[in-house]
């Protein structure tokens, strides 16, 4: 084995060196400043995509007036309609990818050689428990949605140690048998979806390559006092400092929100104003009347801007020794105090921030997302539908020509089916009211054609993103046979499968590498319950690390069937039944049990006979065979001889 170039200890003691912390703070500020210009247009682009996705882009005065009238209960105003094209397509794509990657349990299956299958089961149980504790499926669905909405789905994968409590039995003399709460902790991989609006990154590299080639990646969170204290509680105390100064520091915020120094909260829903939530929280100390009292000697604030910063840098950049690039992690409060910093020592050598980019064509941030591809069709289809609505408005609010000297405008404006319109100077007309008012004839010849065109445009949008109505669960009539329909759907799913293959190698491969490396590096011994086998399993991290090179983590695109060709294995076992010579050379029974476990039948061990039962079964079978066939013993001897002869023959493949 080649000697590792990684140092055995941290070359820079960033925990205690205040100069190093000052340098890393300045380095993070420089990185934030370098992305200022790009971040402005990036956030504006994200906001437009969200407005299109939620159909909140029409903010004209006429539209808002009609919506406000409808919300007051006045249905006489007909608001414009935005045809839902973008959102159903995005959600269908998310549902497809969730079905591919998240439908199995656990999300990442583990396969190994036959002699290491039990350890593979241990690894699966560990990953399954981590996925349940930290909600991997929920976070990955949000990452999928961000990926298809923005073509930018950022995630961070960290080994997290969270405090928990467990119920145990009291051992106190007078309380034996009673329950008690005991503090404990749970450690595992957390996969967390990040808010794309509050990320700043090295834009010199493609989003999908940030974890391998990027120099830095950071993201901002707005936390309350309690949230910040819980975050600090999970960190290594030996690597934290300046907590008092951080707790007492203030963050006022910038209403412009276009800098990485700010927490940006977009206003998407025009019916709800949440802009104050970005910078203001509830002052619970003031609410409880303890602002100037109580036992707190720290002047806490209502909220804090917490920046998580990852970077690649040389120790000498921060005042240490060495010029080999390393990965560092820092937590900065209000862009003033670095309360936590550590060198990320891991086997994967990635920035633990991975970005999903389903549509990757080499243009990096300029690549259009699914929303961008469907946006023109949604706008055009909505315009044609609203032309039809204008015709409906015309039928309701017809055009009139009237004499203001004879009729008041306020008397004919209300669209009331029952109205009384006074006519001034009626004696002058002698019953001829047409001389006072005239209705202009209306012809509605082309509005229905606009609706038909809108439907055709919706079909064009499906073609643009590679979907159809059936893929979204809608029934569609046709005259195809079942085989023809299946071939058609295979073609309809080809674009989705192309995205799945890209996501597998671009996103899930590094995620699996990080999860595997973190688990083998940090996992401690523990006991978990195997819900399928209904028994406790002792996790031995030493055995897991010894078998690391033989593990292959699977998912929806790389299932167990593809990695181990279980179909071929099944054919081999069927052939062994017809050719006893194969059964004499290969352990077909163990092969069958291995195939069963790969297919998910991990419960087979529950029904395994003990040695006495196995010997009794063999004796019974021999007696039955001898009774039914007197030559059975001779046949068994002949099969054994054939097996020995086959083993003595040279292997042609070995000679070649």
Give how far the C-alpha of residue 479 lies from the chain's centroid of Cα atoms, to the nearest Å: 38
Q: Which of 474, 559, 560, 548 is nearest to 516 (CA)?
A: 548
Mean pLDDT of the chain: 77
What does the block give as tokens for 566? 């279980």
CB atoms within 10 A of CB 440: 9
- What does the DSSP 8-state code read for residue 426? G
The residue written with tokens 């406000």 in the block is: 68
As a whole number of angstroms, the distance between CA 574 and CA 552 comes to 27
Q: Mean of the pLDDT values across residues 534-552?
A: 71
* pLDDT at position 81 over 70: yes
Read off the tokens for 489: 């759907």
All residues at 6 or more sequence positions from 515 whose CB lies less than 8 Å from its CB, including other chains? 108, 127, 130, 157, 189, 191, 553
Weakest mean pLDDT among 56-60, 77-81, 386-390: 386-390
Tokens linked to 619: 């004796």
Across residues 334-355, what is the average pLDDT? 92
pLDDT value of position 347: 87
pLDDT at 491: 60
List the structure tokens of 46. Answer: 């994200």
CA distance 151 to 89: 14
- Please give the structure tokens belonging to residue 376: 């023109």
* DSSP for residue 507: I
Residue 637 has pLDDT above 80, yes or no: no
Specify the 3-state DSSP secondary structure of 96: helix
What's the DSSP call for residue 240? B
Give the number of other Cβ atoms within 10 Å of residue 98's Cβ. Answer: 16
Classified as helix, coil or strand, 333 is strand
> What pLDDT score does 74 carry?
78
DSSP class of 228:
H
Backbone φ and ψ of 158, nearest 5°? -130, 155
For residues 211 and 213, what is the distance between their CA atoms, to the nearest angstrom?
6
The structure tokens listed for 372 are: 């961008």
pTM (two decimals): 0.76
* Cβ neighbourhood burial of 352 (10 Å; 0-12, 13-18, 19+): buried
653 pLDDT higher than 50: no
Q: Are strands 552-554 and 109-111 parallel, antiparallel or unpaired?
A: antiparallel
Identify the pLDDT of residue 8: 40
SS3 of residue 200 by DSSP: strand
Specify the higher pLDDT residue, 157 or 656. Answer: 157
Burial class (CB in 10 A: 0-12, 13-18, 19+), 473: exposed
Question: How do residues 496-539 score in pLDDT, each as one tens digit?
Answer: 888 888 999 999 999 999 999 999 899 888 877 766 666 677 78
Rounded Cα–Cα distance for residues 77 and 66 (Å): 5
Q: Which pLDDT score is estimated for 417?
A: 63
**C-alpha span between 398 and 410 (Å, rounded):** 15
State the pLDDT at residue 642. 52
Strands (E), 428-551: 437-439, 526-530, 535-539
pLDDT of residue 96: 87
Packed helices 611-628 and 632-648: angle between N→C axes, nearest 10 degrees: 110
Average pLDDT over residues 184-205: 93
Residue 7 has pLDDT above 50, yes or no: no
pLDDT score at 581: 66
d(CA 467, CA 148): 14
pLDDT at 654: 42
| Chain centre to alpha carbon of residue 313 | 29
CA dist 357 and 629 (Å) reads 67
Residues in a beta bridge with 527: 538
Three-state DSSP at 46 gives helix
Of 239-253, 537-551, 564-578, where does mean pLDDT reach its minimum?
Answer: 564-578
**CA dist., res. 385 & res. 61, Å (int):** 19
Residue 377 has pLDDT above 80, yes or no: yes
**Per-residue pLDDT reduced to its tens digit, 565-602:** 556 666 767 776 777 666 666 666 667 766 666 566 65
String of DSSP letters for 117-177: HHHHHHHHHHHHHHHHHHTHHHHHHHHHHHHHHHS-EEEEEEEEEEEEEEEEE--SGGGTT
Given this model, what pLDDT does residue 452 score? 65
C-alpha separations of 405 from 400, 423, 429 in Å: 15, 10, 13
- Run of H or E including 91: helix 86-101
Q: What is the mean pLDDT of residues 322-328?
A: 90
Whether 641 shows a pLDDT value over 60: the answer reads: no
Ordered strands of the 179-193 beta sheet: 179-193, 153-169, 353-356
Q: What are 298-311's pLDDT values in tens digits?
A: 888 888 999 999 99
Is the pLDDT score of 329 beyond 90?
yes
Question: Which residue matches tokens 């819900």?
Answer: 531
Q: What is the pLDDT of residues 87-120, one digit of tens each?
A: 988 998 999 889 888 887 788 888 777 777 778 8
What's the pLDDT band for 65 if we cut at 50, 70, 90?
A: confident
pLDDT at 229 over 70: yes
Give the DSSP letter of residue 106: S
pLDDT in tens, 254-296: 555 578 888 888 888 877 766 665 554 455 555 555 554 455 6
pLDDT of 69 > 90? The answer is no
Q: Which long-range contacts (CB under 8 A, 24 or more apart) does 476-483 make?
A: none
For residue 130 the two structure tokens come to 């981590």
Q: Rg (Cα) of the chain, in Å, rounded?
A: 35
Per the CB < 8 A criterion, the answer to whether 147 and 90 are in contact is no
CA distance 48 to 141: 21
pLDDT at site 652: 44
Mean pLDDT over 207-219 rounds to 95
Nearest to 558 by CA among 504, 520, 594, 598: 504
Q: Between these two residues, 37 and 146, which has the higher pLDDT value?
A: 146
pLDDT at site 429: 63
* 516 and 551 Cβ atoms separated by less than 8 Å: yes
**How far apart, in Å, do the first and last CA atoms of the chain sit?**
30
- Report whether 537 contacts 121 (CB < 8 A): yes
pLDDT score of 107: 86
């Amino acid at each position: 084995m080649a000697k590792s170039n990684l140092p055995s200890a941290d070359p820079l003691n960033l925990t205690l060196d205040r100069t190093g912390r000052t340098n890393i703070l300045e380095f993070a500020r420089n990185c934030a400043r370098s992305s200022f210009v790009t971040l402005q247009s990036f956030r504006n682009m994200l906001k437009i995509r969200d407005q299109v996705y939620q159909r909140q882009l029409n903010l004209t005065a006429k539209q808002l007036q009609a919506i406000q009238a409808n919300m007051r209960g006045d249905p006489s105003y007909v608001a414009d309609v935005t045809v839902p094209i973008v959102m159903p397509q995005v959600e269908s794509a998310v549902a497809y990818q969730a079905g591919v990657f998240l439908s199995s349990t656990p999300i990442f299956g583990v396969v190994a050689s036959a002699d290491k299958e039990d350890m593979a089961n241990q690894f699966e149980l560990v990953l399954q428990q981590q996925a349940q504790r930290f909600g991997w499926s929920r976070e990955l669905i949000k990452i999928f949605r961000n990926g298809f909405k923005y073509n930018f789905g950022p995630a961070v994968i960290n080994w997290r140690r969270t405090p928990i409590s467990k119920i145990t039995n009291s051992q106190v003399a007078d309380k034996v048998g009673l329950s008690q709460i005991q503090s404990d902790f749970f450690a595992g991989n957390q996969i967390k979806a990040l808010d794309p609006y509050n990320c700043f990154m090295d834009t010199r590299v493609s989003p999908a390559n940030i974890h391998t080639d990027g120099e830095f990646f950071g993201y901002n969170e707005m936390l309350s006092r309690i949230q910040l204290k819980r975050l600090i509680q999970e960190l290594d105390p030996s690597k934290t400092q300046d907590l008092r100064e951080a707790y007492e520091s203030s963050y006022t915020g910038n209403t412009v929100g276009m800098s990485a120094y700010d927490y940006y909260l977009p206003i998407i829903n025009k019916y709800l104003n949440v802009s104050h939530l970005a910078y203001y929280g509830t002052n619970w100390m003031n609410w409880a009347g303890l602002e100037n009292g109580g036992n707190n000697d720290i002047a806490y604030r209502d909220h804090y801007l917490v920046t998580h910063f990852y970077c690649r840098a040389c120790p000498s950049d921060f005042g240490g020794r060495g010029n080999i690039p390393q990965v560092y992690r820092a937590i900065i409060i209000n862009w003033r105090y670095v309360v936590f910093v550590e060198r990320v020592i891991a086997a994967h050598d990635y920035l633990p921030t991975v970005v999903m980019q389903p549509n990757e064509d080499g243009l990096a941030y300029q690549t259009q997302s699914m929303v961008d591809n469907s946006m023109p069709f949604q706008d055009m289809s909505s315009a044609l539908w609203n032309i039809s609505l204008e015709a409906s408005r015309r039928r309701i609010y017809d055009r009139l020509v009237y004499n203001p000297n004879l009729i008041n405008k306020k008397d004919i404006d209300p669209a009331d089916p029952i109205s009384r319109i006074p006519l001034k100077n009626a004696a002058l007309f002698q019953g001829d009211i047409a001389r006072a008012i005239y209705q202009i004839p209306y012809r509605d010849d082309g509005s229905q054609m606009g609706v038909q065109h809108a439907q055709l445009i919706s079909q064009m949008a499906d073609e643009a993103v590679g979907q159809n109505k059936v893929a979204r669960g809608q029934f569609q009539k046709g005259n195809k046979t079942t085989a023809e329909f299946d071939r058609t759907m295979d073609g309809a799913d080809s674009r989705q499968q192309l995205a799945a293959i890209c996501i597998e190698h671009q996103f899930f491969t590094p995620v699996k590498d990080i999860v595997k490396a973190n688990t083998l590096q940090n996992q401690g011994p523990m006991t978990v319950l195997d819900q399928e086998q209904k028994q406790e399993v002792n996790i031995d991290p030493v055995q897991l690390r010894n078998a690391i090179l033989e593990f292959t983590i699977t998912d929806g695109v790389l299932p167990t069937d593809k990695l181990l060709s279980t179909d071929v294995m099944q054919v081999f076992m069927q052939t062994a039944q017809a050719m006893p010579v194969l059964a004499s050379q290969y352990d077909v029974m163990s092969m069958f049990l291995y195939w069963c476990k790969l297919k998910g039948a991990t419960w087979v061990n529950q029904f395994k006979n003990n040695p006495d039962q196995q010997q009794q079964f063999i004796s019974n079978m021999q007696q039955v065979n001898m009774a039914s066939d007197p030559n059975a013993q001779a046949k068994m001897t002949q099969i054994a001889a054939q097996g020995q002869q086959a083993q003595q023959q040279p292997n042609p493949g070995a000679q070649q």
